[in-house]
């Protein structure tokens, strides 16, 4: 008998046994030893069980929860978030979650393996394995990405001159078309030959791709990939980070801007290419900082495309080794931080010491957010409200935006 769905999305039975693709209340037949078992058959299904929409589900490692009805699935994610906050003794209003719809993800990463001269094999890693699932469809992704999979497999075919090459195609849908940054091509032997580069560019042109780069180095460009961020149009550097869905980006941006309303001066820390910067600059002058110089360069260039902003300054700065100090924040009344999964221990310590009146934290990792939030609360802030964000559909992953005030 499955008693609950655990943190990674696997069903949990008595004695600490976990069975994937199962739900609370189900009776199942499983095999194997130890704590991880393999599902053989669902003997008595839960009324919350639904038919998975993807033919690759169960083999592909990308999704864990397509078999669960949307309502209880989303409730489970919000409940996990609430439990994570409670571990750090944090109590806040949990708002209704934003949930991304199927077919809206604008970026994915395809792992490629040698096929034939015409096309490589390409897909996602199998569940808990390095094996490749050669995919033909992906219901979480934008249909334009799915339609490009055959052309992406053709693009990858010239990448296997060296036996150690294991390419990954990082594909982003932009206003100019698909932007593809390829990593994992063996470079120590000299990288791709001139002939392979020519073939790569020819195949990119045949497919109508906007740009192809090899670990950030230009290999082909027909059009500069651009995205709209608030009132600005930003030319993306190769491999630039964007929120996974346009809808989630808009919801998070609107929530951050609403929380920052009335500010006189704003700091946007871990700003990237300006996901929140341009929306915030419609409210007040913004000082933005990020460790990636290319992102800062793109952000600065984007300022010229958005007349009417209150003012933006930006600097390339490692916020771990050199966080923005409390003394530098004396004239700042609102600070936004959106760190990587590791969180923002060093920067949070400076925010805690500062006179900033309101802090808005954006996080892709509730555990490190809760740790950083505890430091702010211990310094006199109150975590007022939290917006859960589900943009990695059918995974165990949940994101959030939290608002703190003194």
Q: Which of the residues are catalytic?
A: 364
The CA distance from 270 to 256, in Å, is 14
The CA distance from 180 to 238, in Å, is 8
The CA distance from 129 to 122, in Å, is 15
For residue 384, give the 3-state DSSP assignment: strand
The CA distance from 1 to 53, in Å, is 25
Q: What is the DSSP letter of 195?
A: H
| Burial (0-12, 13-18, 19+ Cβ within 10 Å), 215 | middle
* Phi, psi of 152, deg, nearest 5: -65, -35
Percentages helix, strand, coil for the chain, rounded to the nearest 5? 25, 30, 45
Q: What end-to-end distance do the CA atoms of the chain give, in Å?
A: 47
**Alpha carbon 62 to its chain's center:** 13
Adjacent-strand bridge partners of 312? 286
- Is 309:274 a contact under the CB 8 Å cutoff? no
Q: Where does 229-334 have alpha helices with state H? A: 246-260, 277-280, 293-303
For residue 303, give both structure tokens: 């300022």
Rg (CA), the chain: 23
């Amino acid at each position: 008998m499955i008693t609950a769905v655990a943190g990674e999305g696997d069903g949990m039975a008595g004695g600490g046994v976990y069975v994937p693709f199962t739900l609370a209340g189900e009776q199942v037949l499983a095999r194997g030893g130890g704590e991880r078992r393999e599902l053989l058959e669902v003997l008595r299904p839960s009324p919350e069980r639904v038919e998975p929409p993807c033919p690759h589900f169960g083999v592909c490692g990308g999704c864990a929860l397509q078999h669960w009805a949307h309502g209880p699935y989303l409730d489970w994610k919000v409940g996990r978030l609430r439990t994570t906050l409670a571990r750090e003794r944090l109590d806040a209003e949990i708002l209704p979650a934003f949930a991304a719809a199927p077919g809206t993800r604008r970026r994915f990463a395809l792992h490629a393996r040698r096929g034939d001269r015409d096309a490589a094999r390409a897909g996602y890693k199998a569940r808990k394995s390095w094996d490749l699932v050669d995919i033909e469809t992906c219901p979480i992704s934008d249909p334009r990405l799915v339609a490009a999979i055959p052309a992406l497999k053709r693009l990858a075919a010239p990448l296997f001159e060296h036996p150690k090459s294991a390419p990954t195609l990082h594909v982003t849908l932009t206003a100019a078309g698909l932007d593809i940054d390829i990593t994992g091509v063996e470079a120590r032997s000299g990288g791709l030959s001139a002939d392979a580069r020519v073939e790569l560019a020819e195949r990119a042109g045949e497919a109508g791709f906007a740009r192809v780069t090899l670990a950030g180095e230009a290999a082909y460009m027909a059009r500069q990939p651009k995205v709209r961020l608030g009132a600005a149009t930003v030319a993306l550097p190769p491999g630039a980070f964007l929120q996974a869905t346009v809808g989630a980006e808009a919801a998070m941006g609107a929530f951050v801007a609403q929380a920052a309303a009335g500010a006189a001066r704003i700091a946007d820390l871990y700003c990237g290419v300006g996901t929140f910067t341009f929306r915030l600059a419609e409210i007040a002058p913004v000082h933005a900082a990020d460790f990636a110089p290319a992102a800062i360069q793109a952000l600065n260039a984007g300022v010229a495309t958005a007349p009417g902003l209150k003012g933006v300054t930006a600097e390339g700065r490692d916020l771990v080794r050199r966080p923005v100090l409390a003394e530098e924040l004396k004239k700042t009344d609102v600070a936004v931080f959106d760190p990587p999964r590791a969180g923002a221990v060093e920067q949070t310590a400076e925010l805690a010491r500062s006179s900033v009146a309101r802090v808005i934290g954006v996080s892709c990792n509730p555990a490190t957010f809760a740790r950083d939030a505890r430091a702010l609360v211990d310094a006199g802030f109150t975590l007022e409200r939290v917006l859960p964000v589900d943009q990695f559909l059918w995974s165990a992953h949940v994101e959030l935006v939290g608002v703190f005030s003194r």
